[in-house]
Structures are given as C-alpha cells and as structure tokens.
Structure 1
C-alpha cells in the first residue's frame, strides 16, 4: 500500500523543482544584457508513478503520481534562424566593406567640385584659350604654366591618396585574417571543452552560447557552413548539441574545413613569408594572389576561391590576381591604372602637339629666336605610375626662360600668332582611334575628357549600387535578427511572469506540506487516545 509519507515526498519534489525553475529565471534576468546569451528553461518531467509494474505489485485502484523533477536546463534557440542570420551577415558585411571603400574613393576623387581633376584640367584648357588671344603676354603664359603645374599636382595627389587608402585596406585585410584565426582557435577550444563535459551528462549552455557568439562573429568575415553536430559520446544527453565542424564556402559551393572539432587551420595569404602568414602589404605583387589554410602540422591547402563576406569586399577593393601571371584586378588598382593611362596619354599627346608649335623669342636678344616647342611635361617611357610621376619639364619650369618656351605660335618668329595655343587647348577633345594603341597610347577609344567622365560615372554607379545593396542587406539582417531575438533573447516581462508562476507553485507545494503535516499530526497524536 502507499506509504503514509508518500505525499510529503511528492510535494518535496515539487518544491525542489519549482525552486530550480526560479533559479533559472533569476539566471535569465541577470543575463538579460549579456551579449550572445540565450534564455534557458527547466524541462519539467513527471517522475515514475507508483507502483511500478511487477509480479508483487500491490493491489490499489491505480498508479499514483509521485511528483515532478527537473529533467534538463535547456537553451531556447532555433538553429534555422542562426543559419539565416549568418548568411545575411556575410552578405551585409561584404556590401558594407565595398560601399565604404568606394565612399573613400569618391571623397578623394572629389567630383564634381571645383577642387576636382576635371575642373583643374578645364582651367588649364581655358588658360590656353586665353593665351591664344594674347600670346605675347607673359602674365597669360604664367597662368598656363601655373595651371599646368596644378594639373600635375592634382594627378599626383589623387594617385598618392588612393595608394594610401589601398595600403590601409591591406592592413585591414591583415587584421581580419588575424581575427579569423583567433576566432577559429577559440571555437576549437570550446569544442574541446564541450567534448569533455557532455559525456558526463551535463548541458554546458554557457559554452554553447559563447560558441554561437563566436560563430556569428566569424560569419561577418567569411562565408561559412556549420556542419551537423557530432556526438561527444559517453553519457551525452539526447538534447546535447555536440561538437561542431565549420567550413569556408566559395561562391560556387566549394568548401574547405576551417575547424574540425578541437583542430583548426589558420588562414593566410599566398605567397606569404613564414614569419608573417597574415602579411598583405608586404606582398611583392601588391595584390592578393590567393588564400591558403595552414593546419596545426604546417600543411598548407590553397583555396581556389575568395570567400564572401567582409574579406571579399576588402580584397576586391585592395586588389587581387586570379592567376599568378594574370592582371591585378580590384577597385583601387583599376582606378590607379586608369589614372596612369589618362595621365600618360594626356602628357604624351600634349607634348606631341606642343612640339609642333613655336616658342616666344626673347625681346632684344638675337641669340634666343623662336624655335620649335619642346616637351611641356616631362616625357615618360611607360604609363605605369604616370599619375604620380607627371611634372612640368625643366625647360618650362625655368624661372628665366620657361615662360618663353611655351609654344603658342603656329609660325616661326610670329609672336602675335596664337593659333597653336588653340590647338593645344583642343587636345582635350582629341579622339583616340584604334591605331593610337599601336603608337604608344594605353587607351584607344574616345577623348581624354570623355575617358575621365566615363571613369567617374562608373565609380558613381558602383558606389550607388554598393550603398543600395548594403542598405537592403542591413534591412534583411535586422529582420532575421529580430525574429531570432524573439525566440532566444530574454524578455523581462516574460521572466517576471514565469517568476510569479513558479513562486506560486512553490508556495502551493509548501502549503501542501503544511496540510500533510496536519494529517500526520492527527494520525500520530489524535488516533488511539479514546481509552486513555
């Protein structure tokens, strides 16, 4: 038959279980503002009823409940939303890094403004038109030389500023690689800790939270795939989350393991110095030629892709080579290359036209008659780095005779003839044709002015697209995060409701003990006293 103290044990279990639920509620409230924390709940489980089935089972009307116990303390989390969040964060980080790089480029190019290259070159052309109207005026010639110097300075400023930002992007890539390697190492260590705790029969919820937080952060830098958990073995509970493996994913579905349990591989650039696997700006090519994963034994596996995320946005901005002997691609290398082509074509064509005119003869000096014009800008052998090397020729910069060396006349000894200055001003509209490419010009389509307008227009369109995509991806990321937070985050209102619920249940169990005590008191002290 049922024990007299059966009820006491039942309500004792109830008090103990409700107390555990109150402790967990307090833990949730305490961590309401902890980054990465996932709310927890106590899974209530009915204890085995009495009596159990058997040959000597007592004959009573039926099995009686024996109370409740705290089965497990489990996190409330939805893995599908985690996958969505990490995917959207990868996209958002890519577009944000790309948009930031283009925004910095727009600030440097500074178009359309009065301080941009286009306006500086227009003033140079205007000064040549003014010179055509008064070719003997040394003041007009001084303006031409000054405006020519301004053009050279602007080209040089744009080139040096873009290279500085490019170097900063390289440093940021290096920092991101170090961050990725640090996150990978931390995740692998947590995997090891989890594999040591789960077999004992516990759920290391705080370690799960920290691992998920680190994986979320890792998804910002590269596109990753979290593989199904592997069981830790031993007495692991069915709801234990196990050990996670993580792969880096390429745009076409290629993958390479980054973390396998307690082992991880370090991401590095190739080729890389053994002393600095994260070095970017030290690369001899000035561009990322590839990425590799180096395991703990030093074995290197090359990645044949650039994983999406912030890393890809930075690498596409900084510059990369698809093959070791291929051209350098990227936002900044292509802009620098285009500026070099423009600067080289400009100074080469301008010098060519300038050499066809005649200089101004020096008054009252028969030893210095007018002559064919020389180079206005210092000639260059190649277009590489032309934007940073452009400068006025020594003859034009000469303080005493430099102004006279500007070839504004179309005929010798006709100082009042400014026709050739007009031809110099028309260089901006010169249409390069297909045959110009074979004559040393790096681009053979359109004019110098239209080339630059196309360059700025393309940059503007790319910047607008990157900004639009960044804004859209942030909206999607916030939407997924809100849904995830609605499931996993701590709601103080909900926790306060739970606290009252568990408190009332605890009080009810305590009241039951009082009732059981009165019943036992009646049995022990109130029965069998009639004959006393």
Structure 2
C-alpha cells in the first residue's frame, strides 16, 4: 500500500531542489563581474526509489520514485586551461618588465636627438676645431673648457640615471619578494580552510576561486607549477617548493638569489633581476668604457702640446685620470688646472728653438685633438668587460650602443605583445568555460522557477486530495 503522504514528500524535495538551483543561479548572476569567479551548478539526481510493499516481494510492477535530491553544488573549472594560462602569464610578466626597462634606458640614452650624448661630443670636438683657427685666443679656449664641462656633466648625468634605474629595479625586486611571500601565506591559509570544509563533505567553491585568483597573480610574478594534493595545492618554482598544504616556505631575497637563474626562470621577478643584472649593468659598462677611453686618449694627446704659459710648459691631464674603470662615467671630470685657468689648455706643439718660448700661433695640437673624433680606438675600458665595439670611433661606438638598445627594445616589445595576445586568448577560453553568461543564467532562472511552481502546484494537489480523504470520507449516512 502506498503512503498517503509520499506525494507531499516528493513535492517538498522538488521545492527544496529547485529553490537551491534558483539560489545558485542568483549567486552566479551577482558575481558575474567578480574577478576569478567560476560559475556554479547544482547537480540533481533522482532519489532512491522504494519497492512496493509485500510479504516477500511485491507483485506490483515497477518501483515508487521518491522525487529529486541535490547531489552537489560544483564550480565549472578546467584545470588544463589554468595551467596553460600560468605558463603564458609568466612570459607576459617577464617581457613586460624587460620592455619597460629597455624603454627607460632609451629615454636615458636619448639618442638620436639634438640634446643627447652625441651632440655634446660633437660640440667638444668642434670647440677644438675652432681653437685651431685661433690657438692663442682665450675666449676660444673658454669655449673648449665649457664644452668639456658640458660633456662631463652629460656623462655624469647618464651615469646617475643608470644608477637610479638600478636602485629602482632593486626596490621593485624587494616589493615583488614581499608580494610573493604574502601571496604564498594566503594560499597556504586557504589550503587549510578548504581542506577543513571539504573534509566535512562540502565543496568550498568560493574559497577555491579565491585561491585560484592568488595563483593567477603569483604566476605573473614567478614561474610556478601547481599540483593539487589531498591537502591542497603544492606550488613549486622550478625545484623550489613554495607551498605544500598549509605550510608556506619563507620567500626572501636569499631565496631569489639562490633560485636565479636555474629555478627562477620567468615572470616579473625574473625580468627585474635580469634587467638589473644584464641590461643596466651592460650599458653602465658601455658608458664607462667610452668615458675611460675618452679620458685616456684626450689626456695622451693633450700632454704632447704646450700651454700658453711662459716658460714653455707641456700640457698636463685635460681630464682627471680614471681611478675606477667601473665608475669612470660617474667620476668623469675636467682637471682643476683647466677649469681654474684656460691658459693651461694646450694647443701648440712647437716652440722657438732660440728663445725656448711657445709659438702660440701654432695649432698642431688643436688639430690633432680635433682629429681624435675620427680615430678608431680599442674600447677596452681599462678592463671593463662585454664591450659592444672595438676598433671604432667614438661616434661609431655610440651608434653601436644605441642601435643594439633599439634592437633589444623592439624584440622586447614584440615578445610582450605576443605574450599579451596568448594570455588574453587563454583567459578568454577560461571565461568561455568558467565565466557567467547572464543570458544563460536568466534562462536557467526561468526554468527553475517553472519547476518550482510546478512542484508547489503538485503539493497543492496532494494537499487537496488529503483534505478530501481526511475531511470528506466516511461521512455517508451521517
């Protein structure tokens, strides 16, 4: 015999199931613009049916269905796409940083332009050319001094900006290290909370979304590989374990130094470290090499001539000699003997054999100094390594430096653009799987609403039937 109240129970289960589906749909709609949110669905299944009653086995065919039950509420997420996204996101982070650094270097070098290094060099050589026309003119010598001071100031300024850029990169590295350490701790905490909740049989969908957002952010800063274990995500950077379960290993500057470049191979942190160790250091070397060679060669020529002083006096160092080749540009300066008295600038290479006085109208040294511009030199930089060009003029050397910088910037721009396209494509594919479609959710809402209304109508029908049984039966003959 069937239970009189079975219909009510079936209707109640239908109401509860459709209500849960409606609530989940509302949850999806309200989080349509929440970053990292994965749409959720309610999985329903038919309740376990009951056999018809009988002493041993009922002869009534079929089983009695018991309505619907909620099996689970799950989020729609494709881990394969997540891992692809992490792989491309780290490249985007790295090349974006490298591009930004190279663009800053281009701004510092400021070539080609009318106000860059090449212009002040030309002004210096031209001042010697003018001095050759009036070798005994003090005003022309003053122009030589001022052009030399302008040139050393330009070298000093570029060197300072390169040092500032290096310090900025170091500061950014420290910020990124702190950011990674904080993110790892948050992921470990979420691992623990998710493990606790899911140990009770529930799906921690929203907490999982929060954790995945953190991993998304982390994947742009450092190269990460992810493996989901029973106690949560295990995250590695190369062979370095960053997070396992509820434990986050400390991420410090020492961690980065030990991991670069074998385990730390990509991401913003790699880009910052690489830019500081290679791009900035390399252009410091080029600048220092050029400054050191310029100092040595100008001093060598200047010592061959005579100043305006009587008796005849050979010229001394025009520039202060190089003390530290790795700091030549920053310390590049005109000798105090030149700045204090322009008569100490040598222009003549002859003196009277009888009187021993300098022939002040001679311009051989001024011409020779002007010709330094067109002489090819070996830019060894007094020991500075990784020189871009040997056996060229100063102008050719500067052009080679600027050209190499331009090529590297173009390559970084191309790589950053390509990585952005790839990362955006994968994000679009992830959204097509996990993202919330308002049209789809509204259609689901109507579907669940009708199902809810139908379950409510069924309950009303059963209620009326029970009312007839309870209040309308057995009254005949009263």
Interval of TM-score (by shorter of Structure 1 and Structure 2): over 0.9
Answering whether residue 350 of structure 2 is matched by residue 411 of structure 1, we say yes
* Alignment partners' CA distance in 2, 1:198 and 1:149: 72
Partner of 1:167: 167
Q: SS of the counterpart of 1:226? A: strand
Deviation at 1:269, TM superposition (A): 2.8
* Alignment partners' CA distance in 2, 1:422 and 1:464: 40
> Where does 1:344-493 land on structure 2 (aligned, <5 Å)?
344-361=292-309, 368-398=310-340, 402-412=341-351, 413-433=358-378, 444-493=390-439
Deviation at 1:158, TM superposition (A): 0.4
Contact preservation (8 Å) 1:114, 1:120: no
* Alignment partners' CA distance in 2, 1:131 and 1:384: 32
* Alignment partners' CA distance in 2, 1:55 and 1:83: 59
Gaps in structure 1 of 5+ consecutive residues: 233-242, 250-254, 271-276, 278-287, 293-301, 320-329, 362-367
Deviation at 1:370, TM superposition (A): 3.9
Q: SS of the counterpart of 1:244? A: strand
Contact preservation (8 Å) 2:290, 2:381: no
* Alignment partners' CA distance in 1, 2:154 and 2:230: 63
* Alignment partners' CA distance in 1, 2:318 and 2:261: 49
Deviation at 1:54, TM superposition (A): 9.8
Answering whether residue 444 of structure 2 is matched by residue 505 of structure 1, we say no
* Alignment partners' CA distance in 2, 1:110 and 1:83: 41
Partner of 2:275: 317
- CA distance 1:145–1:55, change in 2 (3 Å): farther
Deviation at 1:525, TM superposition (A): 4.1
Contact preservation (8 Å) 1:345, 1:441: no
Deviation at 1:355, TM superposition (A): 1.0
* Alignment partners' CA distance in 2, 1:387 and 1:121: 14
Deviation at 1:441, TM superposition (A): 8.8
Partner of 2:214: 214
TM-score of the two chains, using structure 2 as the length reference:
0.93
Partner of 1:291: 258
Q: SS of the counterpart of 2:251? A: strand
Higher helix content, 1 or 2: 2
> Where does 1:58-457 land on structure 2 (aligned, <5 Å)?
58-227=58-227, 229-231=228-230, 243-249=232-238, 255-270=239-254, 290-291=257-258, 304-319=262-277, 330-361=278-309, 368-398=310-340, 402-412=341-351, 413-433=358-378, 444-457=390-403
Deviations 1:293-312 (A, max 9, x none): xxxxxxxxx98543310011
> Where does 1:520-531 land on structure 2 (aligned, <5 Å)?
520-531=466-477
Deviation at 1:315, TM superposition (A): 0.3
Contact preservation (8 Å) 2:89, 2:219: yes
Q: SS of the counterpart of 1:70? A: strand
* Alignment partners' CA distance in 2, 1:265 and 1:54: 64
Partner of 2:354: none
Gaps in structure 2 of 5+ consecutive residues: 352-357
Aligned pair count reads 469
* Alignment partners' CA distance in 2, 1:17 and 1:309: 45
* Alignment partners' CA distance in 2, 1:403 and 1:421: 14
Deviations 1:479-531 (A, max 9, x none): 11111112212222222221111111100111111222233334444445554
Deviation at 1:383, TM superposition (A): 1.4
- CA distance 1:463–1:89, change in 2 (3 Å): same
Deviations 1:326-362 (A, max 9, x none): xxxx11111112111110100110110111122234x
Partner of 1:365: none
Partner of 1:252: none
Q: SS of the counterpart of 1:223? A: coil
- CA distance 1:438–1:450, change in 2 (3 Å): closer
